[in-house]
Structure 1
C-alpha cells in the first residue's frame, strides 16, 4: 500500500526513477480499487454495460498518476518517458511495453537520477 500512496504523492512528477516494485504495487492496488469501484457501480445500479460514474471518476483521477509512474519506470531502465507510446504500435507494442516494464532498472546512476534501490537502502 505504501508504494501506491508514494505514486499518488508524486501525482504529476515525471522526473526521477521508479523501481519495478513501485510500479507493480501501484498497478496491483489500482486494479483492486478499480474493481471495487466497478462493484460499487453495479451494486448501486449506476453501471451501464459494466461501467458507471464511480469507476469513471476513479479512472479519470488515476490517469495522470498512472502515466507518471510509467514514465518514471522508463527512466529507471534508462529510456525516455515517451517510450510509453510504443504501446500504440499494433499487435506488438503492448507486449514490448510489458517487457520494458518488467526489465530490471539500471544498477547505477543514469541521466534521470540515482538508483532508487540504493536510495532506499
Structure 2
C-alpha cells in the first residue's frame, strides 16, 4: 500500500528509478479516484448517458475538485513515469515516442511492463536492492 503513495512522497523527484509496482500501483490509485468521481457524478444526476448534461451545483463542485486533483497529480505522475523509464535504463526522452499514434503508446506500454535492470545503472541504484550483494562479491 505504501508503494501506491510513494510518488506523492517523491512529488517532484525526476531522478532515480521506480519499480514496476510503484508505477502501476500509483496508476491504480488514480484509476480508483476516477471511478469514485464518476460514480458520484452519476449518483448526483450530473452524468447522463447521452453525454449532454447540465450540471447542478454539486456537479460543478465535484468537477472542480476532480480538476484540482488531476492538476495535483500531473507532476508526481510525470516524475514516476520518468523514474520508471530510468529503471529500464532508458532516458525520459522516450516519452516523446508517445506522440506517435497507437504505436508510440504500445512501445511505452512495453517499456513500462519490462523489468528494471538488475543492479545499478546510469540513473541510480536498483530500487529492489538487487545486484548489490553480487557486486560486492566481484569487486
Give the structure-2-normalised TM-score. 0.76
Question: Counterpart in 2 of 1:116?
Answer: 127
* Pair 1:70 & 2:104 matched: no
- CA-CA distance at 1:78 after TM superposition: 0.2
Question: Counterpart in 2 of 1:9?
Answer: 9
Q: Distance in 2 between matches of 1:39 and 1:87?
A: 30
**Aligned residues, how many?**
117
Equivalent runs, 1:28-67 vs 2, <5 Å? 28-44=28-44, 45=46, 46-47=58-59, 52-67=63-78
Equivalent runs, 1:94-113 vs 2, <5 Å? 94-113=105-124
**Deviation above 2 Å: which 4+ runs of structure 1?**
37-48
- Structure showing greater radius of gyration is 2
User: For the aligned residues, what is the CA RMSD?
Assistant: 1.9
Equivalent runs, 1:76-91 vs 2, <5 Å? 76-91=87-102
Mind listing any 5+ residue stretches in structure 1 that lack a counterpart?
none
- What do the CA deviations read for 1:52-88 (whole angstroms, capped 9, x no partner)? 2222111111111111000000000000012112111
Give the structure-1-normalised TM-score. 0.86
Mind listing any 5+ residue stretches in structure 2 that lack a counterpart?
47-57, 131-139
* 8 Å contact from structure 1 (residues 17, 112) kept in 2: yes
